[in-house]
Structure 1
Amino acid sequence: MRRLIDIKEDIEETNYWIPVSNLMAAFMLVLLVVLVAGFAYVNNMPKYVPQQQEQQQTENVDQEYLAELEAREAGVNAQSEALKELTGIREGIVAKLSDTLASLDISADIDKKTGSVRFGEAVLFNVNSTDLNPAGQEYLKKLIPAYLSVVLSENNREYIEQIVIEGHADDGGTYLYNLDLSQKRSYSVAGFIISSKLSMLQDGTDAEKLLAISGKSFSRPVMVNGAVDRSLSRRVELSFVLKYDMLMDRMQDAIKAGEE
């Protein structure tokens, strides 16, 4: 009887350890799977991290490139607007100047693109002379007030940098001789404008500080049918210079505004 009891106990003990061994085997299998997966993740991580970093760097480069393109576009637009403004101002002055001189019956050759007023040698000077003749003085007394009333009007004054008086000669004689002649003629015109108070505007502002002179000798001859026209080359030109610096500042402000 005792033997039967011992055998029964051995069987029960054996049946107990079988499930335990199965659980241990299953646990070891799960642990093995986890370890394999872990090793695979670790092995792939060095490849995945650089790929992620590379993707992030690419995205950063794309964003920087887009920002640069937007800044360039803003700059181009600002330049375009500045040029439109500059062109519009000049065209407006030229149109008004032409109408004003025509209404006052003042004869003048006006460049439709630049607004430069050209008058020949015979209008102001005798041959090889740097002194204004009486007819030239009377002509300037009519022309200058009308010219300045348009160019330096309240609407245009802030845009004007200078009023330039340029003397020009033909190619007869040396360059230095004609340089001196053209320079002295432009100086004579400026001197007469200031001494005769023609630079004084109606509101009491004196525009003399805006006057500048230049002698060009025969560096810019007048060409007719491909040949130099000496008579037309001997001339004085009156022109205005716009404040490019102010327009450039506006352009820079527009660019900065586009970048923000």
Structure 2
Amino acid sequence: MLRLKTPRHRRAKDEAEKPFWISFSDLMTALMVLFLVAMAVALMGVTQGLRKIEETRKDREETIQSCIADIDQIAQKPEFKGVKVRGQTIDFGPLAEFRKNGNELSPERMAFLRNFVPQVLEVARHPNCQKWLKRFVVEGFASQEGSYLYNLNLSLARSQRVLCVLLDASAPDAPSQEDRRLIRQLFLVGGSSFNAAILDQPEKSRRVELRLEFKELRQDCRAGDTACQSEAPPPIPWDEDFKCPVAGQ
């Protein structure tokens, strides 16, 4: 008995020639999804970076306020009556005033400086304060009596005199060597002539102030990034040969 062979179904010619590429609409959809994912990742990175910068800014502000509050507590002690903390400036008041045309300090005022400044340095050594504290500026002032350049030199000599008092190792109440090293690293001198003069009380213009300067917040800083906050002052060669270059007037 003969079997009839049924012919095999051949694939349609067009089935083998179907295109491999996806449709244009599918391609656009895939690209849009990829774009949205990339944008989401980028926004997350930017948001995280802004959050860290904000945390660092907040840490800086809180640290500065804490340092100033600690110094203000020192100024409230009875032996330092007359010292006032205004913002980031320590006003010594009558405890660091000079006589007319002079840059010399009385023994009582020198003893005050040698007692007060080391206590301020203890605050500066605290890790939190040390992280943002940049330096201290000893600013001298002069009244409007006299010429501009004369008073400018006089105010600068007064601020230098303060450093001479603090760095004099031969004084009986001299700060420790560790304190004197830190003073040499962190303290700068500055002078003003007619700036900030108290017109109706010229004797109060013959004074010095101690101003705190803190490190600025850089945009590339991150919370806990010590590289942004270190800025350690360069080492200064140490010597004990004390010779104050400022002559008394």
TM-score range, shorter chain: 0.5 to 0.7
Partner residue, 2:233? none
Mapped partners of 2:196, 2:105: distance in 1:
22
Aligned Cα root-mean-square deviation (Å):
4.2
Q: Which residue of 2 aligns with 1:70?
A: 44
Distance change (3 Å), C-alpha of 1:248 and 1:230:
farther
Following superposition of structure 1 onto structure 2, how do residues 160-199 of structure 1 map, counting pairs within 5 Å? Answer: 160-170=133-143, 175-195=148-168, 196=171, 198-199=174-175
1:129 partner SS: coil
Question: d(CA) in 1 for partners of 2:179 and 2:107?
Answer: 27
Structure 2, unpaired ranges of 5+: 1-6, 227-249
Gapped regions of structure 1 (runs ≥ 5): 1-22, 255-260
The match for 1:80 is 54
Which is helix-richer, 1 or 2? Answer: 1
Aligned residue identity for 1:81? E
Q: 2:194, 2:45 → 1: CA distance? A: 42
For 1:10, the equivalent position in structure 2 comes to none
Q: CA deviation at 1:56?
A: 3.5
CA distance in 2, matches of 1:234, 1:245: 34
User: Partners of 2:179 and 2:92 in 1: how far apart?
Assistant: 28
1:194 positional shift: 0.8
Counterpart-to-counterpart distance in 2, 1:219 and 1:78: 43
User: Counterparts of 1:1-260 in structure 2 under 5 Å?
Assistant: 35=14, 48-49=23-24, 51-107=25-81, 108-111=83-86, 113-114=87-88, 116-120=89-93, 123-153=96-126, 156-157=129-130, 159-170=132-143, 175-195=148-168, 196=171, 198-200=174-176, 206-218=181-193, 221=196, 231=202, 233-244=205-216, 249-251=221-223, 253=225
Tell me the distance in 1 between the aligned counterparts of 2:66 and 2:45: 31
- CA–CA distance in 2 between the matches of 1:81 and 1:151? 22
Alpha-carbon spacing, 1:125–1:233, altered in 2? closer, same or farther (3 Å) = closer
Partner of 1:14: none
| Counterpart-to-counterpart distance in 2, 1:235 and 1:204 | 23
Does the 8 Å CA contact 2:91/2:208 hold for their aligned counterparts?
A: yes
Q: Is contact 2:139–2:192 with CA below 8 Å preserved after alignment?
A: no
What do residues 41-60 of structure 1 show as CA deviations (whole Å, max 9, x unaligned)? 76xx88934x4444333333
- Partners of 1:247 and 1:148 in 2: CA distance: 29
Contact 1:120 1:234 in 2 (8 A): no
Contact 1:144 1:198 in 2 (8 A): no
Please report the TM-score for the alignment, with normalisation by the length of structure 2. 0.64
Instruction: Give the SS at the match of 2:181.
Output: coil
Q: Aligned residues: percent identity?
A: 21
SS at match of 2:92: strand
C-alpha separation between the residues in 1 aligned to 2:201 and 2:30? 71
Structure 1 contact 175–218 (Cα < 8 Å) conserved = yes
In the alignment, the residues of structure 2 paired with residue 251 and residue 71 of structure 1 have an alpha-carbon distance, to the nearest angstrom, of 15
- In our comparison, the structure showing a higher alpha carbon Rg is 1
Alpha-carbon spacing, 1:177–1:154, altered in 2? closer, same or farther (3 Å): same
What is the distance in 2 between the residues matched to 1:168 and 1:59? 67
TM-superposed CA distance for 1:214, in Å, is 3.2
8 Å Cα contact 1:170/1:218 also seen in 2: yes
CA gap 1:75/1:210 in 2 versus in 1, 3 angstroms: same
TM-score by length of 1: 0.62
Q: Which moved more, 1:210-219 or 1:244-253?
A: 244-253
Structure 1 residue 205, shift from structure 2 partner: 7.5
> Does structure 2 retain, via aligned residues, the 8 Å contact 1:199–1:207?
no
